[in-house]
A and B are shown apart, each in its own frame.
Chain A
Amino acid sequence: MQRMIKFHPTVIAIFFICSIFYTMYTNNPLAIMLSLFCSLLFYLVIEEKKKFLEHLLFILFIIIIITFTNPLFVSQGETILFTVGKKIITKESLVYGAVMAMMLGSIITWFKCYNKIMTMDKFTYLFGKALPNISTIISMGIAFIPRFIEKGKAISLAQRNLGLYNQKIAGKIKLNLRVFSSLITWALENSLDTADSMNARGYGLKQKTRFSVFRYKIEDLLLTFIMISLMTFIMAGSILNYLDYQYYPHLTPLSFSLINSLLYLALGLLMLIPTIIEVKENAKWNFFKSKI
């Protein structure tokens, strides 16, 4: 059981907004590497082993592709490594490509985690506060899609059993067109019932409230406070150019002054929060289990 999923949707939203935003904002290679590392670590904790490995391979693949294509198009930088035909490959453009690739990989991974944690009901809850009707429509859509697919399968099966359609492409196209048109008629016909059911329960009356199963707990408040503090510190440091980094014409050396080190530490801490929570929860469970 995942622990992070049980936090209030706003807390989860704040975390992902901070992480994804900062990953896109910064160009500091160490910050981006941290982000990639933390996102992968979190994904490892919440996803099945097999799916994680597939994802990891995919990320490595795009990192390699982008790292080596960037120098082919960009020939800035002072340190020439070698030439391919007439193209000059520089160390700077190679590193820049790698960092950008890692940024992309890390954002993809964060979004994968987001999809696991921010379930649709949480999303509509967040939306619903601002736009209640939109969130009703989204919720209806999600409820309807599985029915639509199921009905499509049933119609297609019933039609095929009539033996009217040959197994060549023409027959298949004819079959699918008919299934589709019948499906649309069915959907329209049935939506009348749904509309009746909504009206009967007062949809469209003025004074709408919004119910949710989510409650704001003390740990939600605590976590929000920690995240906002860390993020404020990191952003302040970044705006004051502490984490600035130049790739061209030559790479600036990474600085590890006190403030810089603290900023890296804060960033790592912020991005590790969900992993720490999950691991702690697992450990707690294992501990309880060993007691039994």
Chain B
Amino acid sequence: MELFQIKNLTFTYAGEKNPALKDINMTIEKGSFTVICGKTGCGKTTLLKMLKNELRPHGKLEGEILYNGVSFIDIDKNKSVKEIGFVFQNPSNQIVADKVWNELAFGLENLGVPTMQIRQKIAEMASFFNIEDLFRRNTSNLSGGEKQLLNLASVMVMQPKVLLLDEPTAQLDPISRDNFLRLLQKINDELGTTIILVEHHLEDVLILADKIIVMGMNNIFSQDTVKKTCQIIKENYNNFPLISNFPTSVQLYSAVDCEGECPLNVRQGKRFVESNFTNKIKSLESRKQILSSEKMISLKNVAFRYRKNDADIIDDLSLDIYRGEILAVVGSNGAGKSTLLHLIAGNLKPYQGKIIIDGKDVNKYKNNELYRDNLVLLPQNPDDLFVFDTVREELMEMKNNNSNQDEDFAIRLDEVSQDLKLEELYNKHPFDLSGGQKQKLALAKILLLNPKIILLDEPTKGIDGMFKIHLAGIIKKLQTKGITIVLVTHDIEFSAMICDECALLFDNSIINKAIRDEFFLNNSFYTTAANRITRDMYDNIITVDDAISIIRKNQVL
């Protein structure tokens, strides 16, 4: 039985010429789990908002949207609010109230549900989501993951028939993301709620879905079951840039000639590799990594805490970072990764130990010397760097950093905007850019400072697989100019793509720092999916590209 039926839908935003959605035909079955994916700006969010009256943007709409067989546009307001739930991307922005219980009750209050019933429904959902201990807390004190759980719960208390989610996990760390996805599955399995999830990062998501809708630019490229979609991807492998958003196992499956079903997770991927390929050639030629021996940043027995009576965030940490290398620091949430960067950038002062930057104690840099032609920090949220109305002004502003002579600056500005392809965005407002574009603008701003050291705080947060590859290219190119780069991240796959050395932050200190191959080949959790899939068969596989080349070499012809 169909819940939604969309027939020949074309939608054009008010004031725009080109339609944002064109000739969309799709059906959503009752109780199904549908995933919608596509490039940034392909209209997937617009499509999702078409299904919720309260959120449908202004514009010209042609075609039909049927909900339970009746036209959806003039459906009763109460019904639309109650039966169709919507969860947004940003965990903080959608929270309305100051107390968790108040937030949970918000929708039901608006619907005029009697107080006794509200009490019961809230209690029920709080138990289902296991958030009872948050019940009387302030919403502002919750972590990102907890906030997103609360958002999901405050929609679920209205007992919707269908749940629409717009990239709900993009801002979450991997553990919170797992937790959130597992709850979605539970909602789908145990409550029978229909789920439509827009998501660009498909690792761990495909396995949950019944159906995948792949969008091209403003239209539907394919809509089919997961297995069939993978088949379609395989057929279009050479002409399908979206592939980098798919799980490693799907990427392997589509890259080589083979029969059989598509593997969707590491376990299935392992079986797929073992049954389709030999391991006559066990390893790839290893790249020699030559690191400079000159220390660029050096931390000696550093300890830090925010207040006298707090516990240490960083405890007795020593770390040497060499000139021209890319170091990735990984670790779980709250391990002190961002704190480490802010210590290096001189924003926080350690109570013990020394931090030496380029041969000089960090405290001895006076009057912005540290930030002039020397060290820059890209904050976790690139928005924090933007203070003007246009991209052009943002970039021109950097001229005011004293060392930038006029002519030099013009040349550098040209170079940077060409490298990052920013020219076409010059007249846009920084806040109107997409996540990836914001990241590029922020990077351009700090590159104009002519840095020797770049510190990156979670550079891949909220951006899709295609842009990640692009960003990796940009960072690699910076390295060839002799810039030292330190990034802290949750993103193991991204670290593996670019780093020379990797360090694990645990128990407030660096537990293990090793060159890339050594680090990823020895770990079993802090390593890439490609490594986990192939480790029993082959020796030194880290990235997806590695894995594809080794299995191609071992193909039985």
- A binding-site residues for B, Cβ under 8 Å: 120-121, 132, 136, 139-140, 142-143, 145-147, 151, 154-155, 157-167, 178-179, 181-182, 185-186, 189-190, 193-194, 196-213
Contacts and interface: CB of A to CB of B under 8 A. Distances in A.
Nearest to B457: A158
A203 B110 contact: yes
17 contacts: A121-B99, A136-B96, A139-B97, A157-B384, A158-B385, A162-B385, A163-B368, A167-B368, A193-B90, A196-B54, A199-B54, A200-B52, A200-B55, A200-B85, A205-B110, A211-B118, A212-B115
A40 B449 CA distance: 59
A48 to B, nearest CB: 15
B291 to A, nearest CB: 27
A164 B111 contact: no
A124 to B, nearest CB: 8
A142 B95 CA distance: 12
Given A143-B95, A162-B446, A163-B370, A200 B86 contact: yes
A179 B154 CA distance: 33
A209 B115 contact: yes
Nearest to A186: B383
A182 B386 contact: yes
Interface in B81-125: 81-82, 85-86, 88, 90, 92-99, 101-102, 105-115, 118-119, 122
A143 B97 contact: yes
A161 B377 contact: yes
B385 A193 contact: no
Given A161-B377, A211-B105, A205 B112 contact: yes
Interface in B315-349: 342, 345, 347
B387 interface: yes
B93 A190 contact: yes
Interface stretch (B175-183, B396-404, B524-532, B549-557): B396-404
Nearest to B370: A163
Interface in B119-148: 119, 122, 136, 138-141
A266 B80 CA distance: 57
Interface of B: 52, 54-55, 77-78, 81-82, 85-86, 88, 90, 92-99, 101-102, 105-115, 118-119, 122, 136, 138-141, 151, 154-155, 158, 342, 345, 347, 367-368, 370-372, 376-377, 379, 381, 383-387, 397-398, 400-401, 431, 445-446, 449
A203 B109 CA distance: 9
Nearest to A213: B101
B115 A121 contact: no
Q: Is the interface of A mostly helix, strand, loop or mixed?
A: helix
Nearest to B81: A202
A179 B449 CA distance: 20
Contacts of B54: 196, 199-200, 202
B376 A161 contact: yes
Contacts of B431: 185-186, 189
Contacts of A151: 384
B98 A142 contact: yes
A147 B91 CA distance: 12
A167 B345 CA distance: 17
A157 B347 contact: yes
Given A154-B381, A185-B431, A193-B88, A201 B387 contact: no
- Sort A-B residue pairs by CB-CB distance and give the 3 closest, nearest first: A163-B371, A207-B112, A202-B81
B50 to A, nearest CB: 14
B81 A209 contact: no
A157 B383 CA distance: 12
A181 B429 CA distance: 14
Contact of B384 (A121, A158, A208): A158
Given A146-B140, A154-B379, A164 B109 contact: no
A147 B140 contact: yes
A75 to B, nearest CB: 52
Nearest to A181: B387
B96 A205 contact: no
Given A143-B139, A193-B88, A202 B82 contact: yes
A121 B98 contact: yes
A199 to B, nearest CB: 4
A213 B92 contact: no
A34 B385 CA distance: 58
Contacts of A178: 387
Nearest to B164: A200
B166 to A, nearest CB: 10
A208 B106 CA distance: 10
B96 A139 contact: yes
B98 A120 contact: yes
Contact of A194 (B96, B110, B138): B96
A200 B81 CA distance: 6
A160 B92 CA distance: 25
B386 A164 contact: no
A140 B384 contact: no
Given A154-B381, A193-B88, A209-B114, A121 B93 contact: no
B81 A205 contact: yes
Contacts of B136: 213
A194 B384 contact: no
A193 B90 CA distance: 8
Given A157-B384, A158-B384, A201-B106, 9 more contacts: A143-B95, A146-B140, A161-B377, A163-B449, A164-B400, A178-B387, A196-B88, A209-B118, A211-B118
Given A143-B97, A193-B88, A163 B372 contact: yes
Nearest to A210: B109
B55 A196 contact: yes
Contacts of B81: 200-202, 205
A187 to B, nearest CB: 10
A194 B449 CA distance: 36
Contacts of B99: 121, 139
Contacts of A200: 52, 54-55, 81, 85-86, 155
A166 B140 contact: no
Contacts of A208: 109-110, 112
Nearest to A215: B119
Contacts of B387: 155, 159, 178-179, 181-182
Nearest to B82: A202
Contacts of A179: 387
A136 B109 CA distance: 11
A57 B252 CA distance: 74
A165 B347 CA distance: 15
A216 B90 CA distance: 37
B126 to A, nearest CB: 11
Of B85, B109, B371, most A-chain CB atoms within 10 Å: B109
B388 to A, nearest CB: 9
Contacts of B158: 201
Contacts of A165: 368
B338 to A, nearest CB: 11
Contacts of B383: 186
Nearest to A155: B384
A190 B381 CA distance: 14
A205 B78 contact: yes
Given A136-B96, A139-B102, A143-B140, A207 B376 contact: no
Given A157-B347, A211-B118, A202 B110 contact: yes
B368 A194 contact: no
